């Protein structure tokens, strides 16, 4: 490896994930941290840690010059951006390379091209990958837009050329609403992306969101690692992901996989990436966009393929040709990931950061916890309140769901509101268990939370749990009941 030392330009669970991969490869790690993260887990875990400024992201994790300066001072050969923050910023990728440092991700040019969703659509169309009917060129002119929009069947979806991830989209069901929707979308796009360019697509009702993981080396070799089903999302934030998808068979996987590889090649992409598709009720699939980064949900692919995607990223960035061929890739068993957030599901998922007063983590066969906090850590208000990702693997989907329910019951986080119970209730849902899911699943999902356990009781249970660990045996040979168990039974009685 040319890479002996790497700077991790991120925080939380993904920074930890990257430090672990680097360490296994014998690469030294450099963390950067803000005021809020002086005692964060990534700051503590890395071999070296450098302060980069105040808690606001703009002054720290989004500050290109500060991060590159640290990279120079620390003498790293590479920077890994993780996801979010600067991971999809072409200027950051380019500046890193200009300073003679390897950027562990795609070239800035491929990133920039794919940032324009109309470029992505044109590329797909040219090489015969299916896209939804609609425009391949963006516009800011309503007259141009109207002519194109009226050529396709309503409902239609207005999207921002520089958007993605669902931001700034508008569904229009009625021709009469087109102009006002256009104006609103235009304002939103300008505000959010600094660019008011819009385009239109036929709106696909209740699609599934299925994406393909691709890996490309610097010599034109591209393979795919199968699909992830990511339909369970709220407000365009995925919360449960799985692989394989219940609706994808070998033939569909091969077709979508080949198309994903074609798009990757055509855009001059290198390193790990994700090609997003929508699949409609008739099993037609349409290319949507390409995510030019390592994704939050990458672990489900790792568990079913046995491939460490982050390590592959390091090898590719180091200049090695792909070590795997498409024929070597197969999926085994079933993996599910849930994202655990410091949010209050009973109050419309408002962020609920704060002090983690007690923490007990699930473990055992088939359990992986990509964690970003520790007991005693105060989750800052300044960033995404993701606590951890819990990922399970089992031989079948049915067993994976059972394992996830078991793991979520083991997981105790006291001091802050979290989404663990909410996620368990989804796992227990009949439709979810049958795999009857689409991107609107959570709009219809009703919680069965009949009983709420007050914080004080949870805190006492946590304390009791601690104490009983030391003195399990009670006089007379009996075993003392953990209050957790008592609470667990009450919950089961709901």
Q: Would you name the residues annotated as active-site residues?
A: 293
Closest to 96 measured CA to CA, from 434, 104, 231, 88: 104
Beta strand pairing status for 156-160 and 198-202?
A: antiparallel
Give yes or no for residue 13 binding ligand MV4 (CB under 6 A): no
Give yes or no for residue 119 binding ligand MV4 (CB under 6 A): no
- Binding to ligand MV4 (CB under 6 A) within 423-452 occurs at 439
- Residue range at the interface with ligand MV4 (CB under 6 A); choices 46-54, 141-149, 196-204, 302-310: 196-204
CB of 155: closest distance to ligand MV4 in angstroms? Answer: 9
Give yes or no for residue 224 binding ligand MV4 (CB under 6 A): no
CA–CA separation, 221 vs 142, rounded Å?
42
- Binding to ligand MV4 (CB under 6 A) within 268-297 occurs at 276, 278, 288-289
Binding ligand MV4 (rule: CB under 6 A), the pick from 203, 287, 314, 383 is: 203
- Binding to ligand MV4 (CB under 6 A) within 469-488 occurs at none
User: 62 or 158, CB closer to ligand MV4?
Assistant: 158
CB of 239: closest distance to ligand MV4 in angstroms? Answer: 12
CA–CA separation, 29 vs 22, rounded Å?
7
CB of 337: closest distance to ligand MV4 in angstroms? Answer: 17
CB of 267: closest distance to ligand MV4 in angstroms? Answer: 16
CB of 421: closest distance to ligand MV4 in angstroms? Answer: 24
Q: Which residues of 265-289 are buried (b: 16+ CB within 10 A; e: fewer)?
A: eebebbbbbbbbbbbeeeeebbbbb
CA–CA separation, 145 vs 160, rounded Å?
12
CB of 168: closest distance to ligand MV4 in angstroms? Answer: 10
Give yes or no for residue 239 binding ligand MV4 (CB under 6 A): no
CA–CA separation, 27 vs 9, rounded Å?
15
Give yes or no for residue 233 binding ligand MV4 (CB under 6 A): yes
CB of 224: closest distance to ligand MV4 in angstroms? Answer: 18
Phi, psi of 422 (to 5 degrees): -60, -45
Q: What is the signed CA dihedral for 148, 150, 153, 156, rounded to 10 degrees?
A: 70
- Residue range at the interface with ligand MV4 (CB under 6 A); choices 17-25, 32-40, 200-208, 400-408: 200-208
Binding ligand MV4 (rule: CB under 6 A), the pick from 115, 207, 362, 415 is: 207
Name residue, tokens 């660019």. Answer: 195
Give yes or no for residue 413 binding ligand MV4 (CB under 6 A): no
Cβ(124)–Cβ(290) below 8 Å = no
User: 11 or 159, CB closer to ligand MV4?
Assistant: 159
Give yes or no for residue 68 binding ligand MV4 (CB under 6 A): no
- Residue range at the interface with ligand MV4 (CB under 6 A); choices 198-206, 263-271, 319-327, 354-362: 198-206
CB of 288: closest distance to ligand MV4 in angstroms? Answer: 5
Tell me the per-residue interface mask from 120 to 159 with ligand MV4, x by CB under 6 A, - otherwise: ------------x------------------------x--
H-assigned helices in 319-445:
397-410, 420-427, 430-434, 441-444
> Which residues fall within 8 angstroms of residue 242, CB to CB, at 6 or more apart?
228, 229, 300, 334, 335, 336, 337, 397, 400
Neighbours of 181 (CB within 10 A): 19
Give yes or no for residue 57 binding ligand MV4 (CB under 6 A): no
Give yes or no for residue 201 binding ligand MV4 (CB under 6 A): yes
User: 182 or 203, CB closer to ligand MV4?
Assistant: 203
C-alpha radius of gyration, the chain, whole number: 23
Give yes or no for residue 27 binding ligand MV4 (CB under 6 A): no
Phi, psi of 244 (to 5 degrees): -75, 175
User: 79 or 278, CB closer to ligand MV4?
Assistant: 278
CB of 236: closest distance to ligand MV4 in angstroms? Answer: 6
- Residue range at the interface with ligand MV4 (CB under 6 A); choices 203-211, 264-272, 296-304, 345-353: 203-211
CB of 335: closest distance to ligand MV4 in angstroms? Answer: 21
> Which residues fall within 8 angstroms of residue 477, CB to CB, at 6 or more apart?
none
Binding ligand MV4 (rule: CB under 6 A), the pick from 86, 158, 172, 204 is: 204
Q: Where are the beta strands (DSSP E) in 83-207?
A: 102-103, 156-160, 170-172, 198-202
Closest to 380 measured CA to CA, from 35, 95, 25: 35
**In this structure, what token pair is assigned to residue 325?**
């061929």
- Residue range at the interface with ligand MV4 (CB under 6 A); choices 146-154, 204-212, 245-253, 479-487: 204-212
Give yes or no for residue 264 binding ligand MV4 (CB under 6 A): no
> Which residues fall within 8 angstroms of residue 328, CB to CB, at 6 or more apart?
none
Q: Is 72 helix (H, G, I), strand (E, B) or coil?
A: helix
Alpha-carbon separation of residue 100 from 76, 219, 235 (angstroms): 10, 20, 39
- Residue range at the interface with ligand MV4 (CB under 6 A); choices 1-9, 199-207, 217-225, 381-389: 199-207
Q: What is the signed CA dihedral for 100, 102, 108, 110, rounded to 10 degrees?
A: 140
**Interaction site with ligand MV4 (CB under 6 A):** 132, 157, 164-166, 201-204, 207, 209, 233, 236, 276, 278, 288-289, 439
């Amino acid at each position: 490896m040319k890479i002996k030392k790497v700077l991790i330009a991120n925080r939380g669970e993904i920074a930890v994930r990257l430090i672990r991969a680097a360490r296994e490869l014998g690469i030294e790690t450099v963390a950067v941290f803000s005021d809020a993260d002086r005692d964060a887990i990534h700051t503590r875990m890395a071999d070296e840690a450098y302060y980069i400024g105040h808690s606001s992201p703009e002054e720290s994790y989004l500050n290109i010059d500060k991060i590159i300066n640290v990279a120079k001072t620390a003498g790293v050969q590479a920077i890994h951006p993780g996801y979010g923050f600067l991971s999809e910023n072409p200027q950051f990728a380019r500046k890193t390379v200009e300073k003679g440092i390897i950027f562990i991700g795609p070239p800035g040019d491929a990133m920039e091209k794919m940032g324009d969703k109309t470029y992505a659509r044109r590329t797909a169309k040219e090489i015969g990958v299916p896209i939804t009917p609609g425009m391949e060129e963006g516009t800011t002119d309503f007259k141009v837009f109207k002519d194109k929009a009226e050529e396709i069947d309503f409902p239609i979806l207005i999207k921002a050329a520089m958007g993605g991830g669902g931001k700034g989209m508008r569904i229009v069901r009625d021709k009469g609403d087109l102009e006002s929707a256009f104006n609103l979308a235009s304002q939103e796009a300008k505000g959010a992306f600094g660019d008011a360019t819009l385009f239109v697509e036929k709106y696909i009702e209740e699609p599934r969101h299925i994406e393909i993981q691709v890996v490309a080396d610097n010599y034109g070799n591209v393979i795919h690692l199968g699909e992830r089903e990511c339909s369970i999302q709220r407000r365009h934030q995925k919360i449960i992901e799985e692989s394989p998808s219940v609706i994808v068979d070998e033939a569909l996987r091969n077709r979508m996989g080949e198309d994903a590889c074609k798009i990757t090649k055509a855009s001059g992409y290198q390193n790990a990436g994700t090609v997003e598709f929508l699949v409609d009720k008739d099993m037609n699939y349409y290319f949507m966009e390409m995510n030019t980064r390592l994704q939050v949900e990458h672990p489900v692919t790792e568990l079913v393929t046995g491939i460490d995607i982050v390590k592959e990223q390091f090898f590719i960035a180091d200049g090695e040709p792909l070590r795997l061929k498409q024929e070597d890739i197969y999926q085994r068993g079933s993996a599910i990931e849930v994202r655990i957030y410091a949010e209050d599901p009973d109050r419309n998922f408002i962020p609920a950061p704060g002090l983690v007063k007690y923490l007990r983590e699930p473990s055992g066969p088939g359990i992986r916890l990509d964690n970003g906090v520790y007991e005693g850590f105060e989750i800052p208000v300044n960033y995404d309140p993701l606590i951890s990702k819990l990922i399970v693997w089992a031989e079948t989907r049915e067993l994976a769901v059972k394992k996830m329910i078991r793991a979520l019951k083991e997981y105790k986080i006291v001091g802050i509101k979290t989404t663990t119970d909410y996620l368990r209730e989804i796992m227990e849902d009949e439709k979810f268990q049958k795999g009857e899911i689409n991107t609107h699943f959570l709009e219809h999902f009703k919680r069965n939370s009949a009983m709420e356990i007050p914080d004080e009781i949870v805190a006492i249970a946590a304390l009791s749990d601690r104490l009983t660990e030391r003195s399990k045996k009670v006089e007379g040979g009996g075993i003392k009941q953990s209050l957790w168990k008592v609470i667990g039974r009450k919950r089961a009685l709901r």
